[in-house]
Amino acid sequence: MATAGGSTLAGFMTPEQILQSSGGVARTDTLLQHGVGERAIERSIDDGRVLRIRRGVLALPDAPPDFIRALAAGARLTCLSAATHYGLWCVRPSSDLHVSRLGRSAEGCINHRAATVPPHPRLPLVGLADVLVHVLRCRPAEESVPLVESALRRGATTAAFIESRLTGPFNGRARAALGSVDLTGESAIEVVARLLLRGAGLDVRPQVHIAGVGRVDFLVEGFLIVEIDGAAFHSDRQALRRDRRRNNMTVIGGYLVLRFCYEDVMFQPDDVLAMVLTALGRRPVR
């Protein structure tokens, strides 16, 4: 049996539990549909356990601010704003809130409007395919391609399915970015580096195995190895020794090697490219 408020006995969830399962924020109608009575909702609000964001929208005190803003605007998150909640690769955070709301504008937000697939079953997010379509239309390739590549690598959707939603002359740039996805990147910054090098017209082979050396991030023009170092680079003495031996073997094999970090690729791409082109002009004797 349940109490009159519908919040404490078997078969019913409390307002807080329902909000928690919805990412910390939900419409009042959602709680009512789960059998929570209005009295139980009002008690949770009076006790400070639940906040009324606006008429018809409730949230937990620690709910993600972007979820609150989206639902308060009658919208769902999409594009870069939804990507982090889906666990996709994002090379930089967005200072804008990207939402999808049909028919009306969403004040203070970038509204991508149309959504073509079912939304996230619990959270205030559009479906993953719509996130990818919106980011391909909205953001430059250095931001959109890593994000899409991470989704496709996990098998969440397919390039063909996304391309089917990018028809018409106004989606040419988005289709070109999608065409740059090749699923070879093992991190967002590797994808950005690949785009940078190929954008310069260079022959770039990602994830190449070289005898005595192992797998390298990129082999450029057949003799220049380009490695992109992550935060864990040289995390201990043993790793340092392995890396030194690896570098020595590349020299013995007749290769040149350049190493770059995230900051180099993201904030000084012209310098990275200049170094690569300089190294390519010094082809070693092999």
Q: How confident is the model at residue 12 (pLDDT cuts 50, 70, 90)?
A: confident
**Lowest model confidence (mean pLDDT) among 77-86, 142-151, 226-235:** 226-235
Give the pLDDT of residue 15: 95
CATH class label, 188-280: alpha beta
The arrangement of strands across the sheet holding 256-261 comes to 204-210, 214-220, 224-229, 256-261
Q: How confident is the model at residue 180 (pLDDT cuts 50, 70, 90)?
A: very high
In the chain, the N- to C-terminal Cα span, in Å, equals 82
% of the chain residues with pLDDT over 90: 78
Side chain identity at residue 140, one-letter code:
P
Q: Would you say 265 and 217 are in contact if contact means Cβ atoms under 8 Å apart?
A: no
Per the prediction, the chain carries an average pLDDT of 90
Give the pLDDT of residue 11: 53
Give the pLDDT of residue 284: 62
- pLDDT over threshold 50, residue 239: yes
Report the pLDDT averaged over residues 169-191.
Answer: 96
Give the pLDDT of residue 5: 40
- pLDDT over threshold 60, residue 21: yes
Encode pLDDT of 211-234 as tens digits: 888 899 999 999 999 999 865 544
Give the pLDDT of residue 82: 97
Give the pLDDT of residue 279: 95
Encode pLDDT of 1-10 as tens digits: 344 344 343 3
Structure tokens at 12: 């019913």
Give the pLDDT of residue 103: 77
Encode pLDDT of 100-141 as tens digits: 998 777 778 999 998 999 999 999 999 999 999 999 999 999
Give the pLDDT of residue 285: 53
Strand 204-210, strand 25-27: pairing: unpaired
Report the pLDDT averaged over residues 176-196.
Answer: 96
